Amino acid sequence: MNKQALELTVENMMSKPKGILAMDESSPTCGKRFAAINVEDSENNRRRYRELIVTSPDLSNYVSGAILYDETFHQKMSNGEFFRDYLNSIGILPGIKVDTGAKDFSNHPNEKITEGLDGLRERLENYALLGAKFCKWRAVITINEGIPSEACMLANAHALARYASLCQENNLVPIVEPEVLINGEHSIEVCDTVTRATLKCLFEQLDLFNIYYEGSILKPSMVISGDKNKKRADVNTVAEMTINCLKEMCPQTLGGIAFLSGGQTDEESTSHLNKMNKDNSDLPWRVTFSYARAIQQSALNIWVGKDSNIKEAQLMLSGRAKLCSAASVGEL
Ligand code: 13P
């Protein structure tokens, strides 16, 4: 492990006023997003859409890194240039999602375990050789009657630690993503309890594996009411409870924190992040975004597969990235 190289990547990823763009939807997930706007799920359409994203105006002013899916990482743009090389050329670090998805967790109904450890070392060696600087692995924790189970939190935290260890062996910064899903009727207090338990379990495992925190980035969900809760907590409460939770559960030496948007509306995702940064100038780590839907969705809805809509969709995407960037420094 080259600690200096990891720290340098973290420094670049966390540079102000930027965040990370998640554009690493697996082909099945991308297919679902396309189906909703009646666009055929083909390799060419996925390339067209991703090319729209990365060539949006001024993107590199707002985004320091982009998380790609394997197909995009190896794909060429219409001018014959690899996406990963183009991103590098405009000052955006290329990263790669390396888990192979959240699968049903045996004997634990309604819970998921993320797979992808087999052969991971060799895949990471290859990604590093081709210029990837960081990786992502997403674990999913579901809130419902009697869940999450300790087994689910532990198995997922253990996998995240093994993943992070292999990343650092290859001088790739691990983005460690334990997502507590927003889906459900639960209160913000329940989300807080589950997020704390998840992070406690996660950092116990990361400690056990001697993960180098300065060379790691946490990608958490916010502490927030369930999407079907009747009395959802307001912006101030979400911002305050999220920051308190992170301050109490995360090591101060962590390289940085970059939230997922997790189904929040565009407006929620920016106002929550903005409030956290406005009210807390003394945090031990940078707190920024690593959004997919909250940056992409409105642009995707404008594009609907038509070349004639590309310019307008790109303006929307840049606009969303700009707002997220402002929120990441509390200047919205
Ligand atoms: P959302 O911002 O849409 O939650 O996606 C972030 C992500 O990368 C999920 O793994």
Q: What is the pLDDT of residues 253-312, one digit of tens each?
A: 999 999 999 999 999 999 999 999 999 999 999 999 999 999 999 999 999 999 999 999
Q: What's the average model confidence in pLDDT over 46-58?
A: 98
pLDDT (0 to 100) of residue 97: 98
pLDDT band at 9 (very low <50, low <70, confident <90, very high): very high
pLDDT (0 to 100) of residue 65: 98
Q: What's the average model confidence in pLDDT over 111-122?
A: 98
Please give the share of the chain, as a percent, with pLDDT higher than 90: 100
CA distance 181 to 177: 12
pLDDT (0 to 100) of residue 142: 98
3-327 under CATH 2.60.40.420, yes or no: no
- What string of H, E and C letters represents the secondary structure of 186-243? CCHHHHHHHHHHHHHHHHHHHHHCCCCHHHCEECCCCCCCCCCCCCCCCHHHHHHHHH
Does the annotation count 219 as an active-site position?
Answer: yes
The CB of 198 under 6 Å from ligand 1? The reply is no
pLDDT band at 248 (very low <50, low <70, confident <90, very high): very high
Q: What's the average model confidence in pLDDT over 96-116?
A: 98
pLDDT band at 21 (very low <50, low <70, confident <90, very high): very high
Q: 13 alpha carbon to ligand 1 midpoint, in Å? A: 17
The CB of 293 under 6 Å from ligand 1? The reply is yes
Q: What is the pLDDT of residues 187-209, one digit of tens each?
A: 999 999 999 999 999 999 999 99
pLDDT band at 38 (very low <50, low <70, confident <90, very high): very high
pLDDT (0 to 100) of residue 230: 98
CA distance 94 to 65: 6
pLDDT (0 to 100) of residue 84: 98
pLDDT (0 to 100) of residue 141: 98
Side chain identity at 124, as an amino acid letter?
L
The residue whose two tokens read 């996925």 is 46
Does the annotation count 322 as an active-site position?
Answer: no
> ω into residue 17 within 30 of 0, thus cis?
yes
Q: What's the average model confidence in pLDDT over 300-325?
A: 98
3-state helix, strand, coil in the chain (%, to 5): 50, 15, 35
Return the domain boundaries, the chain.
3-327
Contact between residue 287 and residue 327 where contact means Cβ atoms under 8 Å apart? no
Average pLDDT, the chain: 98
Q: 324 alpha carbon to ligand 1 midpoint, in Å? A: 14
Q: 217 alpha carbon to ligand 1 midpoint, in Å? A: 15
Catalytic residue among 25, 51, 111, 177: 177
Secondary structure (DSSP) of 319-331: HHHHHHHHHTTT-
pLDDT (0 to 100) of residue 320: 98
Nearest CA to ligand 1 atom 10: 138
Please give the share of the chain, as a percent, with pLDDT higher than 70: 100
Q: 24 alpha carbon to ligand 1 midpoint, in Å? A: 8
Q: Which residues contact 190 (CB under 8 A, 6 or more apart)?
A: 143, 226
Q: What's the average model confidence in pLDDT over 107-131?
A: 98
pLDDT (0 to 100) of residue 269: 98
Q: What's the average model confidence in pLDDT over 27-41?
A: 96
